[in-house]
Amino acid sequence: MRGLLDDLLELSRSDSGILSISNEPISLNEKLVQISTLARNTIPRDFHLVLPKDKCLTAQADPAKFQQVLLDLIENANKYSPEGTPINIVLREEAEGPAIDVIDQGIGIPPEELDLVFERFQRASNAPHKTGSGLGLSLVKLFVEGMGGRIEVASRLGQGSQFTVHLRT
């Protein structure tokens, strides 16, 4: 309930033009290690963090909102996957900037509903009833775009999903 109220408050701040998203250089390696530790302490499943070898990537981001984005994506990966399957977080460098993948082996999203999931109050038709309100990803998109980045999803029904956050250096 607390989370739902926080989400609604952030959305109404955004609608009123008073949502503030800071942009400062953050160390993605460091931040992802912190977030993974938080997730491991709360989510009872295998959780793998893959960082680039011998390279520290930075991005322009709001540290608190970046953490919320990752935790929302991890919460979904956990909620929409059967017990015993792992969650992988991968930090990569692309030509346009750093990218972070959150990959699960869960229920997937029907292809014709892929674009819908970022809309407010939209849930895919295969989502178990009463497990969410359909707001998390609309905030994820709002925050990522507020940091000058973008979010992408690729999914196969019954096999798993991959959400990718692209940020600016």
Ligand X SMILES: Nc1ncnc2c1ncn2[C@@H]1O[C@H](COP(=O)(O)OP(=O)(O)OP(=O)(O)O)[C@@H](O)[C@H]1O
Residue ranges in contact with ligand X by CB under 6 A: 76-77, 80, 104, 106-109, 117, 123-124, 127, 132-138, 161
C-alpha span between 85 and 104 (Å, rounded): 8
Distances (CA, A) of 105 to 1, 30, 41, 169: 27, 26, 20, 30
Structure tokens at 56: 């520290």
Q: Both ends of the chain: CA-CA distance in Å?
A: 35
Length of the chain: 169
Alpha carbon 84 to chain centroid, angstroms: 20
Position with the least CB separation from Mg ion: 136
Judged by the rule CB under 5 A, the positions of this chain that interact with Mg ion are: 76, 132, 136
57 or 142: CB nearest Mg ion: 142
Q: Which partner, Mg ion, ligand X, none, binds residue 77 by CB below 5 to 8 Å per kind?
A: ligand X
Nearer to ligand X, 57 or 69 (CB): 69
CB of 128 to ligand X, least distance (A): 9
Q: Report, in Å, the least distance between residue 140 CB and Mg ion.
A: 8
Shorter beta-carbon distance to Mg ion: residue 98 or 136: 136
Question: If contact means CB under 5 to 8 A according to the sort of partner, which of Mg ion, ligand X, none does residue 31 touch?
Answer: none
Q: How far is the CB of 32 from ligand X (least distance, A)?
A: 18
| Pair type for strands 97-104 and 58-61 | unpaired
**Tokens in use for 59?**
């991005």
User: To the nearest whole angstrom, how small is the minimum distance from the Cβ of residue 154 to ligand X?
Assistant: 11
The SS3 call for residue 115 is coil
Query: Which residue lies nearer to ligand X by CB, 16 or 125?
Result: 125
Shortest CB 62 distance to ligand X, Å: 19
Considering only CA atoms, which of 36, 25, 6, 22 is closest in space to residue 100? 36
Question: What residues are paired with 40 via a beta bridge?
Answer: none
